Structure 1
Amino acid sequence: MSKSGPEFCLAVVVGGTGDPHLVLTVPQSGQQLTWDFHGKGNQSYCMITDNSLSLNARMFNLPPDVNILHRAVEAEDSFFEGTWIDAIGVIYSKPEDDNHERALAIVLNQTSARTDLEEPFAILYSGDDTQISVPEGVSTWTSPDETFSIKYHSEFRTFVEITIPDHLKMEVRVEADSEIISDPPIYSLSFDIQMIATTPEVHGFVGQMYAPGAIEERLQMGTLEGLLHREYVEGTDDDYATSGLTATDCSFSRFKKVRRTKCLWRA
């Protein structure tokens, strides 16, 4: 393949759960690459930042009314205070539409998650100077411009699939932390990114793992005991901070800055 041709991306699944623990399954070998990213409560960070697509995560600290009864040994971390994800922002720009931005915000309601009486998260779409809340009770929903589609997969509406055709397919779930026994339980958002189209310059505390050669480079690293592979992530947590859930202004931002061809998916 010539150097001027499009580069290949690895078709890998990346997931995040709990306090956030991130897992990438290496193609072919099936080996898992795991790392943590903590950040600070009530602060959003860029998970993935690329030319036309960004994903952000907002963290929260231990709720003040939660009493910790037991922590699993693997959940004990003397270096960091616990943080979890309570909101995910997806920002998309269509180059063929003058780069107008569309955004989807998925926001957890901790109280509703505990009671099962109301939907545990709200979904808000923003685009073309309009904001639309996805109606409660619907099983599927498509944005007016057909950019985003949403499909619920569970009776209690704790599991939703989000799709941007040819660009993104991800699942977001509401789950209780399985490593910490508490009263009441700690609920947060978990996710699995099943498909994403990226450029080789993709970044973010998750996105950088999609860059060419990133997996091989990290598998060759030594492990710093106690840091839970935080060394896999370039820079400091503050480098990934954004000014809001659907903002694209982290220090490593690639949004509307990359002009290279998207990767082709390698079978």
Structure 2
Amino acid sequence: MKTSSSLLLWLLLFIISWVIESPVTAQPLKPPSPRPKPKKVRCRSRLFPACFNQWHNCPDDCSRDCYVDCVACKPVCSCNNPGALCQDPRFVGGDGVTFYFHGHKDQDFCLLSDRNLHINAHFIGKRDPKLTRDFTWVQSIGILFDNHKLLIGAKKTSTWDNNEEHLFISFDDTPLSLDGRNWNYRNSSLLITRTSATNGIAIEVQNSFRITATVVPIGADESRIHGYNITNDDCFAHLDLRFKFYSLSDEVDGILGQTYRRNYVSKIKVSANMPVMGNIPKYSTSGIFATDCIVSRFGRRNGTPEMDTGEVV
């Protein structure tokens, strides 16, 4: 009995010694997934010759979604700067405050109205039965300036192909053909240039404004995360926009426009999870080029309407 116990103890000590002394085979570490290369962007505006055609890498915070500020000649994230309008729709006002404005699908709203400039947006969207509002996105904008009409919009499409052109433009009711990756259009003070081979443009009117517009879809992941329930018949292609203005008056109004007034004080509850600008009827207008919203300032001087402006054509 004593011999058996000794043998058992010896075997136990042998096993422990073998485990301790045996080399442990290290499992090879899985190599980390390579980080996608940052998108390269450049200034494509000839109005800024010192920066024109210079290439830049997008910052880490938005490695696939940035643009070049041709004035500062550096890349900046697309949707985080004053004048941005992206997503559902999310605004960054001229005062730097971020807010949402949901509006209603298939209706038009005044983004900005000043004496010599008026910008409306057409909203598309769908209703979530669990909510009291529509999911909305900006499908097109109508711009009135210098007696001209400019329409920028996203074509309806079921499936997204970034190599296809989903952008449409018309100027004074005449459609423009966006042929070629280096396409541009000039008419008097208006210059339209490409910011990408497809689906991206910059619109500039000298001494007035610069707008960059990019057509983007609602992707499957975005739809799942936000509960949009986007189906295969429509990817809700819409515009991501960035506005820069050079000569606004202190009477400017509109969802975005009012945030550029020097005396503007935001009433938005910025501490909310989704700070929303309300009072939808105040900004509603009857058409993409209509100037009949309550806050309209277009065609006025010193706060009073001009006596003989004529029809905008």
When normalised by structure 1's length, the TM-score is 0.70
Pick closer, same or farther for the CA change 1:113–1:246 going to 2, 3 Å.
farther
| Alignment correspondent of 1:91 | 144
Pick closer, same or farther for the CA change 1:61–1:222 going to 2, 3 Å.
closer
Residues of 2 paired with 1:124 and 1:51: CA distance?
23
Given that residues 86 and 239 in structure 2 are in contact (C-alpha distance below 8 angstroms), is that contact kept between their aligned partners in structure 1?
yes
Kindly state the Cα deviation for residue 116 of structure 1 after the two structures are TM-superposed: 4.5
Residues of 2 paired with 1:117 and 1:85: CA distance?
21
Pick closer, same or farther for the CA change 1:59–1:141 going to 2, 3 Å.
same
Residues of 2 paired with 1:60 and 1:82: CA distance?
8
| Alignment correspondent of 1:22 | 91
Q: Which of 19, 22, 37 in structure 1 is aligned with 2:101?
A: 37
> Would you identify which runs of 4 or more consecutive aligned residues in structure 1 move more than 6 Å?
none
Given that residues 112 and 118 in structure 1 are in contact (C-alpha distance below 8 angstroms), is that contact kept between their aligned partners in structure 2?
no
Once the two structures are overlaid, the 10-residue window that deviates more, 196-205 or 107-116, is 107-116
Q: Which of 292, 295, 306 in structure 2 is aligned with 1:249?
A: 292
Deviation track 1:18-37 (CA, whole Å, cap 9, x = no partner) reads 110111375xxxxx411111
| Pairing of 1:180-195 with structure 2 (within 5 A) | 180-181=223-224, 182-184=230-232, 185-195=235-245
Kindly state the Cα deviation for residue 180 of structure 1 after the two structures are TM-superposed: 2.6
| Alignment correspondent of 2:301 | 258
Structure 1 gap segments, 5+ residues each: 1-11, 27-31, 69-76, 94-100, 261-267
| Pairing of 1:44-59 with structure 2 (within 5 A) | 44-59=108-123
Pick closer, same or farther for the CA change 1:225–1:153 going to 2, 3 Å.
closer
Residues of 2 paired with 1:83 and 1:222: CA distance?
21
SS of residue in 1 equivalent to 2:301: coil
| Alignment correspondent of 2:46 | none
| Structure 2 counterpart of 1:89, one-letter code | G
Kindly state the Cα deviation for residue 59 of structure 1 after the two structures are TM-superposed: 0.1
| Structure 2 counterpart of 1:20, one-letter code | P
| Structure 2 counterpart of 1:254, one-letter code | R
Q: Which of 149, 167, 173 in structure 1 is aligned with 2:214?
A: 173
Deviation track 1:113-156 (CA, whole Å, cap 9, x = no partner) reads 72456421210011xxxx3211221511013xx1421001111x
When normalised by structure 2's length, the TM-score is 0.61
| Alignment correspondent of 1:81 | 134
Pick closer, same or farther for the CA change 1:83–1:222 going to 2, 3 Å.
closer
Deviation track 1:169-222 (CA, whole Å, cap 9, x = no partner) reads 1101112346434444432101001234210010000000001122xx22x864
Residues of 1 paired with 2:268 and 2:280: CA distance?
20
SS of residue in 1 equivalent to 2:105: coil
Task: Identify the structure with bigger relative contact order (alpha carbons < 8 Å, sequence gap 6+).
Answer: 1
Q: Which of 205, 224, 232 in structure 1 is aligned with 2:255?
A: 205
| Structure 2 counterpart of 1:212, one-letter code | R
Given that residues 113 and 174 in structure 1 are in contact (C-alpha distance below 8 angstroms), is that contact kept between their aligned partners in structure 2?
no
Kindly state the Cα deviation for residue 43 of structure 1 after the two structures are TM-superposed: 1.0
Pick closer, same or farther for the CA change 1:255–1:53 going to 2, 3 Å.
same
Residues of 2 paired with 1:61 and 1:222: CA distance?
25
SS of residue in 2 equivalent to 1:170: strand
The total of aligned residue pairs comes to 211
Residues of 2 paired with 1:151 and 1:40: CA distance?
31
Structure 2 gap segments, 5+ residues each: 1-80, 225-229, 304-313
* Identical-pair percentage: 22
> Could you say which structure has the higher strand fraction?
1
Given that residues 85 and 92 in structure 2 are in contact (C-alpha distance below 8 angstroms), is that contact kept between their aligned partners in structure 1?
yes
SS of residue in 2 equivalent to 1:47: strand
Q: Which of 87, 99, 110 in structure 1 is aligned with 2:156?
A: 110
Does residue 154 of structure 1 match 2:196?
yes
SS of residue in 1 equivalent to 2:242: strand
SS of residue in 2 equivalent to 1:180: helix
Residues of 1 paired with 2:141 and 2:269: CA distance?
31
Whichever of the two has the greater Rg, that structure is 2
